[in-house]
Amino acid sequence: MAKTAERIDPERFDTREEYLLYLRHSFAYEYAKSRIRPTDEVIEVGSGEGYGTSLLSQAAARVVGLDIDKATVEHASQKYASNKVRFALYDGSTIPSPDSTFDLAVSFQVIEHIRDDAGHVAEICRILKPDGILVLTTPNRGYRLHPGQKPWNRFHIREYDPQQLEATLRKSFADVLVLGIRGSEEVQAIERARVAWALKGGPLSAIRRSLPEPLKLFLGGVLGTLRKVTHPDSSTRDFINAYSLNDFHVINDGVGESLDLLAVCHKPA
């Protein structure tokens, strides 16, 4: 599977920042996994490379991973499918499952990509059983964007603060808790530096949006190489041993300081 800025390959980390992003996402999967019962039917909406869906299957009776990209679904099926895990293609709008099918749904780093975000949440609520749970993550715009600024990540339609995310989720779920995923002080500083670098490229981001996709990818590669040259400490492989899931934790207070928003939504029984 081709590596992109939006799809993590757990076997390829070129920089410290990429590895920390992988750990951050893995932490969210471990959190969701802790809420799964052995008899649960689980669905991941936006399963990507598939490593997270496979992790969830360690605790569930069955897991289905959905993605909109055919090549990605084929890769995940070849690498992770089993008698407990299957992957399927969907159109990004309608989940191909009957009402009240799953006990728990996961949607990690997806909602910021979807134009009809309320529809995305409503569709997940539809396929959950009564008393089912949705666990969702999305980047916290509070440290990534200036007030009123549009996302610099060209794949993101919008980004949320805690109040905005809660308001969107409450259109379908009455019981919503918005928590945060925070890193250690060192991890927080590294991520803030990465975002500051991206913000400096604001004018370039506007130009990239108007370029053909091959040129966008080429420009992204050039900027990535430049970052490695100007930040040599971030390109050493020592980071694999330097950081772990223990560098992340869930917070109830001060959610606005988190890296990712973590929402837990319960469907009424």
Number of residues written out for the chain:
269
pLDDT bracket for residue 251 (50, 70, 90): very high
**Average pLDDT for 38-63:** 97
Domain total in the chain: 1
Q: Rounded to whole angstroms, how far apart are CA atoms 106 and 33?
A: 10
* Three-state SS annotation for 209-263: HCCCHHHHHHHHHHHHHHHHHHCHHHHCCCHHHHCCHHHEEEECCCHHHCCEEEE
CATH of the domain at 104: 3.40.50.150
Residue 113, domain member (yes or no)? yes
Distances, alpha carbon 116 to alpha carbons 4, 260, 261, 269, in Å: 23, 20, 19, 26
Residue 81, domain member (yes or no)? yes
Residue 131, domain member (yes or no)? yes
Give the tens place of pLDDT for each residue, 167-204.
Answer: 999 999 999 999 999 999 999 999 999 888 887 764 45
Q: Rounded to whole angstroms, how far apart are CA atoms 16 and 244?
A: 12
Q: Rounded to whole angstroms, how far apart are CA atoms 211 and 268?
A: 46
Q: Looking at residue 42, what is its pLDDT? A: 98
Residue 3, domain member (yes or no)? no
Under a CB-based contact definition with an 8 Å cutoff, are residues 170 and 129 in contact? no
Contacts of 66 (CB under 8 A, 6+ apart): 43, 44, 45, 46, 47, 87, 88, 89, 90, 95, 96
Which two tokens mark 225?
């190489």
Give the tens place of pLDDT for each residue, 108-165.
Answer: 999 999 999 999 999 999 999 999 999 999 999 999 998 899 998 889 999 999 999 9
Residue 149, domain member (yes or no)? yes
pTM for the whole thing?
0.84
Which two tokens mark 16?
């410290």
| Whole-number percent of the chain with pLDDT over 70 | 82
Q: Which amino acid is at 68?
A: I
Q: Mean pLDDT in the chain? A: 88
DSSP 3-state percent helix, strand, coil across the chain (nearest 5)? 45, 20, 35
Which two tokens mark 77?
């099926």
Under a CB-based contact definition with an 8 Å cutoff, are residues 136 and 108 in contact? yes
Residue 10, domain member (yes or no)? no
Q: Rounded to whole angstroms, how far apart are CA atoms 106 and 53?
A: 9
Is the pLDDT score of 206 beyond 90? no
Its domain, for residue 102, covers: 16-266
Q: Looking at residue 228, what is its pLDDT? A: 53
Is the pLDDT score of 234 beyond 50? no
Residue 1, domain member (yes or no)? no
Residue 8, domain member (yes or no)? no
